[in-house]
Each structure stands twice: as structure tokens, then as C-alpha cells.
Amino acid sequence: MTGNVVNLRMARKRKDRAQKEANAEQNRISFGRTKQEKNLTRALNEKQKNFVDAQKLNPEKDD
């Protein structure tokens, strides 16, 4: 009738480590891009913006 004895301190630390690892994985996905990949994305976004601006019927004028 006895169950497994759980050390609450160790269980809490194990849970904290798992949470930190999940956060680290998310950060690696979000921020783990090389400079070349960032430059490529920036260039593609600029090219798309220029294309959309060129297709406008009434272009905005900067005065």
C-alpha cells in the first residue's frame, strides 16, 4: 500500500530544468539565425516592399 517516495526538492528542480530547456529551445528557434540568413530575409522583405510600392495606383509623395 506504500507508494513511491518523491523528493519534492528534486522534483521541483527537475521541473524547472525542463522549463528552462523548453525556453532555450524556443529562443534557439527565434534568435538562432546566422547573419547571412538575417541579411537574406531583410533583402527579401525590402524587395517585396519595393514591388508592392511600385504597383500602387496613387503613389504617396514625400513633401
Query: Tens of pLDDT along the chain (63 residues)?
Result: 567 888 999 999 999 999 999 999 999 888 888 899 989 999 999 999 999 999 888 867 665
Cβ atoms < 10 Å from Cβ of 45? 10
- Tell me the C-alpha distance between 43 and 55, whole Å: 19
Helix or strand (DSSP H, E) at 7? none
